[in-house]
Amino acid sequence: MSALLSVSDAHVSYGKVEAVRSVSLQVADNEIVTIIGANGAGKSTLLNAIMGVLPLKGATAFAGIDMAPLDIEDRVAAGLSLVPEHRELFGTMNVEDNLQLGAFRIPKATAAHSFERVYTLFPRLKERRKQLAGTLSGGEQQMLAMGRALMGAPKLLMLDEPSLGLAPIIVADIFRTIGELRAAGVSVLLVEQNAQAALQIADRAYVMELGEFILSGSAKDIASNQRVAASYLGFQHEGASGI
Amino acid sequence: MNTTIMLFLLQDGITNGAIYALLGLALVLVFAVTRVILIPQGEFVTFGALSYAMLATGQVPGTAKLALAMGIVAFGLDLFDIRRSLRPTRILRAFAFNIVLPAVILALTYGLAGPKTPIAVNIALSLLIVAAIGLFLYRIAFQPLAHTSVLVLLIASVGCHLALQGLGLVFFGAEGLRGPALSSAALTIGPLRFTGQSLAVYGLTIAFIVALWLFFGFTLMGKALRATAVNRLGARLVGIRTTLSGQIAFLLASLIGAISGILIVPITTLYYDTGFLIGLKGFIAAIIGGLVSYPLTAVAALIVGSVEAFSSFYASNYKEVIVFTLILPVLVLRSLAAPAVEEEKE
């Protein structure tokens, strides 16, 4: 397995409190990997640290490059992209400008192609392209955040709770799009509280509790694990209806 | 009071107001992008004006040497920042930007300065010098503090103002200077006489406002600056360097300051500390604009200029008092209109 992202023995602390302890994970090319776990398990902290928003102790390599000396901006240029939980859109700018800025680090000619790709994935964004980002609905904002990240043609897209606070029908739409990304050659590292939906589209999964990975394996194995079923899938029986 | 006097005062007020508008816009721009309340904006005015006035007499202003000295400090800071990965390309880039650039500007100044140097060359040299000082000021004083609170940045800003004002006294002395006018042409419409200089003030102010509007509305870099102002983390996550945004904001602010200075130094005698007062009036306009609105700031600046002109006619002793009192009703109204704001998160 050629690892696109490889994190080993990562520790992340807020002052003296260690939020992530000795975590190792890998994401291969063209793979969807999910990290599931309860609120406060340290999932978002881990993603932010991989992106460089928070300091990480340990080794991170992406596409063969050591990430430790790189700032957020250089990690973006290397092909790593994060859609954060709060989306961090440019609220007073319109949809098109938000997307255009997503392509800030790539050549202009490639950006035109990115626009096409994003508008095909999210036709709704094309309809709203002159609307201010801050006035979009929650689901549209999530689409815009993902679209903005995809504009930079990343190799790995990290998504932090993309389904949070969205209506079920929109969640289904977002998850369908995540599935389509793999076909387009983008790997995805997905952090989700909606474990069931995440496990359905992921290849592999890690289960996080109190800052540590307690389980890892193929998404299928994790989904059928007794303990996971009890804690995260709410005693769902096999064959229970989808999202 | 007759109409002619009123028109005269209004003309005077609008000329001054145009300058305050430029400075106010620069303040809003820098605050939006970097959260720095740029007190040293006035020093950019003084440095630009007095460098130009000194060059016009054929002397090399001390500001050109200051730019190189600041570049050397900035180079040291850059080396310290990249100490963990000292690659030759990075060192060379830092050297070119921090040492070679101001050294070339200094050499150009020595080479070109003379009593017969054309006005355009002197203006270009003054702008280059002040732009370099603006860039290095950001690198030395504000980039290392970029993550701190508005209050810390404000304190650093006051420190920079005091330091630069002191240096201004060293470079230019306590005597005031005047520079040559851009053009000696004049235009008479009815009772009003427009000098070439005041027409240049109007023209450049309008040109700058249009240029800023085009830059922020239609260029990728301009949008990136706006994005940094709207959401710093969001900007970093798409790969926009906040330090680059800060540099551009300071570059624009120092250029605007220097141009304002060069525009007014033929009209009034400027001293090493005059810039502060001029900058403060731009600041009032910026506050009336809430430190966010460009159009409101420009309109407010014209009001500040007019109020100043009229109060200097009726009660010249209280001119400054009246102008600065303008800020009180605005602050009271704003505090009533806006709910108490919590100290910013971060």
Judged against a pLDDT cut of 70, whether residue A1 lies above it is answered with no
Q: Which runs of consecutive H residues, i.e. helices, occur in B315-343?
A: 319-325, 327-337
Judged against a pLDDT cut of 90, whether residue B317 lies above it is answered with no
* Mutant choice from A54, A85, A88, A110 vs B, greatest count of B C-beta within 10 A: A88
Provide the CB-side half-sphere exposure for A39 (13 A, CA).
2
Residue A73 contacts B, CB cutoff 8 Å: yes
* pLDDT band of B290, cuts 50, 70, 90: confident
Residues of B with Cβ-Cβ distance to A133 under 8 angstroms: none
Which of A102, A147, A89 lies closest to A123, judged by CA?
Answer: A147
CB contact under 8 A, B237 and A91: no
Mean of pLDDT values over B10-26: 92
- b/e per residue B282-315 (b: at least 16 CB within 10 A): bbbbbbbbebeebebbbbbbbbbbbbbbbbbbee
Handedness of CA A71, A61, A47, A58 (dihedral sign): negative
Mean of pLDDT values over A49-74: 92
In the prediction, which pLDDT does B116 show? 87
In the prediction, which pLDDT does B345 show? 43
Backbone angles phi, psi at A188, to 5 degrees: -130, 135
Residue B231 contacts A, CB cutoff 8 Å: yes
Which of A45, A60, A42 lies closest to A213, judged by CA?
Answer: A42
Which of A79, A205, B81, B80 lies closest to A67, judged by CA?
Answer: A79
Residue B85 contacts A, CB cutoff 8 Å: yes
Lowest mean pLDDT among A26-30, B152-156, B225-229, B293-297: B293-297
Residue A70 contacts B, CB cutoff 8 Å: no
Work out the number of other CB atoms within 10 angstroms of the CB of residue A184: 12
Judged against a pLDDT cut of 70, whether residue A238 lies above it is answered with no
In the prediction, which pLDDT does A243 show? 43
Judged against a pLDDT cut of 90, whether residue B331 lies above it is answered with no
CB contact under 8 A, A88 and B230: no
Instruction: Number of A to B CB contacts under 8 A, please give it.
Output: 69
* pLDDT band of B1, cuts 50, 70, 90: low
In the prediction, which pLDDT does A122 show? 93
Lowest mean pLDDT among B161-165, B168-172, B260-264, B318-322: B318-322
Which of B253, B245, B143 lies closest to A104, judged by CA?
Answer: B245
In the prediction, which pLDDT does B293 show? 79
Mean of pLDDT values over A31-54: 92
CB contact under 8 A, B235 and A91: no
Residue A77 contacts B, CB cutoff 8 Å: yes
Rounded Cα–Cα distance for residues B257 and B5 (Å):
30
**Mean predicted lDDT score pLDDT of chain A:** 90
**Mean predicted lDDT score pLDDT of chain B:** 90
In the prediction, which pLDDT does B338 show? 67
Nearest to B238 among A53, A71, A101 (CB): A101
Rounded Cα–Cα distance for residues B91 and B275 (Å):
36
Backbone angles phi, psi at B76, to 5 degrees: -60, -45
Rounded Cα–Cα distance for residues B300 and B295 (Å):
9
* pLDDT band of B213, cuts 50, 70, 90: confident
Residues of A with Cβ-Cβ distance to B237 under 8 angstroms: 51, 72, 76, 81-82, 84, 88, 149
Residues of A with Cβ-Cβ distance to B248 under 8 angstroms: none
Residue B223 contacts A, CB cutoff 8 Å: yes
Judged against a pLDDT cut of 60, whether residue B346 lies above it is answered with no
CB contact under 8 A, A104 and B233: no
Angle (nearest 5°) at CA B73 between A77 and B145: 60
CB contact under 8 A, B237 and A76: yes
* pLDDT band of B89, cuts 50, 70, 90: confident
DSSP codes joined into one string, chain A: --EEEEEEEEEEEETTEEEEEEEEEEEETT-EEEEEE-TTSSHHHHHHHHHTSS--EEEEEETTEE-TT--HHHHHHHTEEEE-TT----TTSBHHHHHHHHTTTS-HHHHHHHHHHHHHH-HHHHHTTTSBGGGS-HHHHHHHHHHHHHHT--SEEEEE-TTTT--HHHHHHHHHHHHHHHHTT-EEEEEES-HHHHHHH-SEEEEEETTEEEEEEEHHHHHH-HHHHHHHSTTPPTT----
CB contact under 8 A, B226 and A105: no
DSSP codes joined into one string, B106-173: HHHHHHH-STT--HHHHHHHHHHHHHHHHHHHIIIIIGGGTTS-HHHHHHHHHHHHHHHHHHHHHHH-
User: Best-predicted range by mean pLDDT among A92-96, B88-92, B314-318?
Assistant: A92-96
Judged against a pLDDT cut of 50, whether residue A239 lies above it is answered with no
Judged against a pLDDT cut of 80, whether residue A226 lies above it is answered with yes
Residues of A with Cβ-Cβ distance to B226 under 8 angstroms: 90, 92-93
Judged against a pLDDT cut of 50, whether residue B344 lies above it is answered with no
Lowest mean pLDDT among A32-36, B218-222, B280-284, B330-334: B330-334
Judged against a pLDDT cut of 80, whether residue A4 lies above it is answered with yes
Nearest to B224 among A72, A91, A101 (CB): A101
For residue B179, CA distances in Å to A215, B49, B141, B160, B219 come to 76, 8, 30, 26, 35
Q: What is the ipTM of this complex?
A: 0.90
Judged against a pLDDT cut of 80, whether residue A235 lies above it is answered with no
A32-37 vs A204-209, strand pairing mode? parallel
Rounded Cα–Cα distance for residues A84 and A7 (Å):
19
CB contact under 8 A, A89 and B231: yes
Which of B62, B256, B55, B281 lies closest to B166, judged by CA?
Answer: B62
For the stretch B165-212, pLDDT in tens is 999 999 999 998 888 888 778 888 877 788 888 888 899 888 988 898
Backbone angles phi, psi at A146, to 5 degrees: -70, -40
Rounded Cα–Cα distance for residues A224 and A202 (Å):
14
Residue A96 contacts B, CB cutoff 8 Å: no
Residue B227 contacts A, CB cutoff 8 Å: yes
Judged against a pLDDT cut of 90, whether residue B44 lies above it is answered with yes
Nearest to A93 among B227, B233, B237 (CB): B227
CB contact under 8 A, A53 and B226: no
Rounded Cα–Cα distance for residues B168 and B155 (Å):
20
